[in-house]
Amino acid sequence: MPLTLQDPGPALRVLAYAPSTSGKGAMVWKMNDRSRYPGDPQGQAFVGGVKQYMAVKKVNDIDVGTWDFWDIMDLLDDKILDNSAGIFQSSGSGSMGNKPAELPVNIEYVEFSGATAAPAAPPAGGETLVDRSDDRYKDLPPDATIREYKIPVAPATYAPQAVEGLRGAVASMPEPTNHVGPRYMGPNSLNEASIREMLAAFKNGQLLPMKDAYKLAIDAFDLLVKEKTLGRVDVPVGKKVTVVGDLHGQLFDFDHMLSLAGFPSAENQFLFNGDFVDRGPWSVEVMFTILAFKVWQPNAVYMNRGNHEAEMANHFYGFFGEVEVKYEKRMIDLFAEIFRATPLCHVINNEVFVVHGGIPGPDPRVWWKGRGL
């Protein structure tokens, strides 16, 4: 049974056509067999009912079934991708010298008699197409594609070389000499007074000694790597949790916020919601303050990974450069692993979902049908 699809413009309804062995006719060779997001131009052939290996019968009511392949392609110029170059066709190739068909283009497709299409490849990455008849999806546009992704089970342990290789090296580092200021001598050395002293030293331009900084960072990694991607925060009645967003290396703003919210405790929990570093000039000091809070109060301090807890952003926006200047380049890889171990989101009291950013969408954005900006 013939199927007619209207193409209002040069959108990629079909990605590639192919001729028969004689060079006559054109059949659908490559197309997206699902719509990637609502309104996806590359999914409109699929939404309209076109199938792989269908043949082009008519273009704007002109029977082209017996034409040479390139004469047909000239009619569909700028509406398919060149198979090899990956760009739109820009010049004619057929002997008839056809001009592109008038828009909108009506293309009639037919299936070969008795032909069977090649079986579709199973979805990649362990994904499964979801049953569209489920009532949960009844309000979605008809061209929306829904997939269920099965996340593989995480390994029992994660021990990156960037961390494991440092343990012995840090243990053999000499103790700092002539250091005036706070020290980190292990989790038991942390308390409110020592962290206040650390903050005051940071504001005065002092840093933790190299060995202490490594030890604190590794101890924090050992806590974070055991946490789940989605964490849970339970806040008892009468207690509170403070959610802190985008500190971006602003140490003095952070210190002022702490003067208002207080320090972490079982009665005063903290959830740092990403973007601890980059842009601001004290990203190292802000990061070590947060890590000190985490090691001191592991069950009252929580961290979400933001888009600036990533290597590309840290190289571009300054954190890794700051680490190299204030400590050494080798420490960069340790922070990269700390950020990989940091949870992505938390749920507070099974009611409030806290995450730094949402799920990435198509670029450019395609707005949901029926909704404006």
Q: Considering the candidates 308, 315, 346, 356, report the single residue annotated as catalytic.
A: 308
Q: 370, exposed or middle or buried, with CB in 10 Å at 0-12, 13-18, 19+?
A: exposed
In angstroms, the CA 176 to CA 127 distance is: 53
Residue 372 makes CB contacts below 8 A (sequence gap 6+) with none
Q: Is 308 assigned a catalytic role?
A: yes
List C-alpha distances in Å: 133 to 140, 149, 187, 369: 11, 18, 54, 20
Q: Are the C-beta atoms of residues 304 and 344 closer than 8 Å to each other? A: yes
Q: Inter-axis angle of helices 330-341 and 161-171, to 10 degrees?
A: 130
In angstroms, the CA 201 to CA 181 distance is: 7
Tell me which DSSP letter residue 205 carries.
T
Query: What does the longest C-alpha to C-alpha distance in the chain come to?
Result: 90
- 3-class SS shares of the chain: helix, strand, coil, % to 5: 30, 15, 55
Q: Identify which of 128, 164, 174, 120 has the alpha carbon closest to the alpha carbon of residue 147.
A: 128
The alpha carbons of the chain give a radius of gyration, in whole angstroms, of 30
Q: Active-site positions?
A: 308
